[in-house]
Amino acid sequence: MPSPPEADDVDTRILAAIARGAHVDVARLAPDATLESLAITSLDVVNALFEIEDEFKIEVPMERDEPLATVGDVLAKVRGILAASSNG
């Protein structure tokens, strides 16, 4: 089943925020791409999360036990927070 259009829109906004924060071309942000392969450092991740927080007016908590290895990991984490905040 295709995802509803709003979900695509959310992903587009998340990817755009990652691209802004990590200074990476958005076209390279495939979900299975590792952050390492995109030369996205830990400091770039911090920048990207800052952009995401601004974009959605949310807070991405500072948990460190769930490593963000791929672009898809970031998408999933942010989608989870957005789902939780819309349900709450």
Partner 1 sequence: MAEAVRRRVALTGRGCVSSLGGSIAELERALHEGRGGIVAVDPARYPGPLRLPVLAPVTGFDPLARFGEKRLAQLDPFAQFALGAAREAVAEAGVDPAALSSAAVLIGTGGGGQCTIDDEALGLYRDGARVHPLTVPRVMASSATSQIAIDFGCRGPAFGVTSACASATHAIGLAFQMVRAGLVDVALAGGAEAPLSYGSLRAWEALRVTATDTCRPFSRGRTGMVLGEGGGVFVLEAWEVARARGATVLAEIVGFGATADAGDLVHPDPAGMAAAMRAALADGGLRPEEVDHVNAHGTGTATNDACETRALHDVFGPHARRLAISATKSAHGHTLGAAGAIELAATVFALRAGFVPATLNYTAPDPACDLDCTPNAGRARELRCALSNSFAFGGLNAVLAVRSV
CB of 33 to partner 1, least distance (A): 20
* Residue 46 interacts with partner 1 (CB under 8 A): yes or no: yes
* Residue 65 interacts with partner 1 (CB under 8 A): yes or no: yes
Q: Considering only 6-14, 20-28, 56-64, 76-84, which stretch makes contact with partner 1 by CB under 8 A? A: 56-64
Q: Phi and psi of 70, rounded to 5°?
A: -125, 165
**Alpha-carbon radius of gyration of the chain:** 12
- Of 3, 5, 6, 62, the residue at the interface with partner 1 (CB under 8 A) is 62
* Nearest to partner 1 of 12, 41 (CB atom): 41
- Give residue 72's identity as a one-letter amino acid code: G
Chain centre to alpha carbon of residue 41? 14
* Residue 41 interacts with partner 1 (CB under 8 A): yes or no: yes
At what angle are helices 5-22 and 71-87 packed, to 10 degrees? 120
